[in-house]
Amino acid sequence: MRIEILADEAAVAVRAADLVCDALRAKPDALLALPTGNTPVLAYAELARRVAASEADFARASIYAIDEFADATRTTPGTNSVFYREHVRLGQRVLHCPNPSAQDPDEHIRAFADAIRRAGGIDLCVLGIGTNGHIAFNEPGSARDSRARVVALTHASREAHTATFGSLAAVPSRGMTLGVADLLEARSIVVLATGARKASIARRAIEGAQTAEVPASWLQSHADVVWVLDAAAAAELSATTQ
């Protein structure tokens, strides 16, 4: 596990873009698993700038979502499907996102994870971390060997999406997600964390015990994971970690 601490969220975005571009240079047809949320938005803007300037080329790359809400539609504001259309405009070969209106979401997300494995597996998985330690929609209580499934979303996770859905009541109560074990199969993982609200959970995930109560802590067991944090998110890390 490598820890990189940068000045602010803008610097985190640039570094995240660097790491994605490094993966593309190493393997132009890389399979990338990318997150939604506020944290990666600046990184996607930086990547789009690089594509426009011919500094990055996603033409052979495949992009896969790591989760999606259930019981919605592909055009419901706030869904990951809408987020990717708005923010991930990189000229990639293909972008796959689970269907939020799938009739059988459990079967759908399992098939989605199987498709990733058949395509060769994830080369680089970029993750955010929730204030409760979730990665993708793996909420507290998620075991290390958990696989793709439908989960009940916690109040904290639903509340984080209130603005994009318009109200808390409009946020679906269930989500489809790649499991912890699916994420850990990625060859490389990058975790982004910015802001003081992430400081406590970043410390627990990086320095605490590996536990289902902090799903991001399972990443400690991965052979190639890089945490990229701004100074505010790293504020509670011990001097030895930094």
- Of the candidates 4, 57, 132, 185, the residue annotated as catalytic is 132
Is residue 134 part of the annotated active site? The answer reads yes
Please confirm, yes or no, whether 155 is among the known catalytic residues.
no
Residues 234 and 193: their CA atoms lie apart, in Å, by 8
Read off the DSSP letter of residue 216.
G
* Number of helices and strands in the chain (H, E): 8, 10
Has 139 been annotated as catalytic?
yes
| The two structure tokens encoding residue 42 | 């600046």
The encoded tokens of residue 153 equal: 């979303």
Tally of CB atoms within 10 A around 169: 8
Residue owning tokens 């890089």: 226
Active site residue 132: yes
Spot the catalytic one: 67, 68, 123, 182: 67
Token pair belonging to 130: 């929730």
9, 80, 108, 134: the catalytic one is 134
- Residue 65 CB contacts under 8 Å (≥ 6 apart), including other chains: 33, 34, 36, 80, 84, 95, 96, 97, 98
Task: Choose, from 9, 68, 123, 139, the residue flagged as catalytic.
Answer: 139
DSSP class of 179: -
Find the angle CA(132)-CA(222)-CA(42) to the nearest 5 degrees.
Answer: 55
The catalytic residue positions are 67, 132, 134, 139
